[in-house]
Structure 1
Amino acid sequence: MEPTNEDYTYRAGDIVYVFYRNPHTQDVANIQEAAVVNNPENPNELAVFLYETYYPLTNEMAVYSTEEEAEQAYHHYFGGI
């Protein structure tokens, strides 16, 4: 079974949008484009590849299928871009 996030099923090769916090400035978050890929550590799972790092794709991760959806959520949670 492929992981789902909200009501969308992701597949390897999809481009998604996530919130990324700067590790040097924790109070800054940005919308970042990322790729859905096969998890190299577990081929039966998907991961989000972002900044040369694989993050397991789970329902706990806020992932948006369009940049517009990500911007709306960002504005809602962080007060604007």
Structure 2
Amino acid sequence: MDYHAGDIVYVFYRNPHTQDVANIQAAAVVNNPENPGELALFLYETYYPLSNDMAIYTSEEEANEAYSYYYGDVTEGMLND
């Protein structure tokens, strides 16, 4: 998938304090300020370099379906804005 700065995508985010809990979180695709010419995800005031190892979804519906597949039923309001 080609991403462009300004795209909004959805990722699974694990709380660093409770690793057994994952949520769906919206993130912005941005120009990486640390590596010009590269893109990064901006999530919780942190830049994460885009890589093929990341599970990135282009819609909340797609993220919910994947979440259900990997973690079980998605409850309403799973997305943390």
Same fold (TM over 0.5): yes
Q: TM-score, normalised by structure 1?
A: 0.89
Q: Residue 34 of structure 1: which of 27, 31, 54 is its match?
A: 27
Percentage identity across aligned positions? 76
Give the unaligned 5+ runs of structure 2: 75-81
Give the 4+ runs in structure 1 shifted more than 4 A.
none
> Could you tell me which residue of structure 2 aligns to residue 16 of structure 1?
9
Please give the TM-score of this superposition, normalised by the length of structure 2.
Answer: 0.89
Paired residues, what number?
Answer: 74
Shift in Å, 1:43:
1.0
Aligned-partner SS, 2:65: helix
Query: Which has the larger share of strand?
Result: 1
Partner SS for 1:9 = coil
Q: Structure 1: any 5+ residue segments left out of the alignment?
A: 1-7
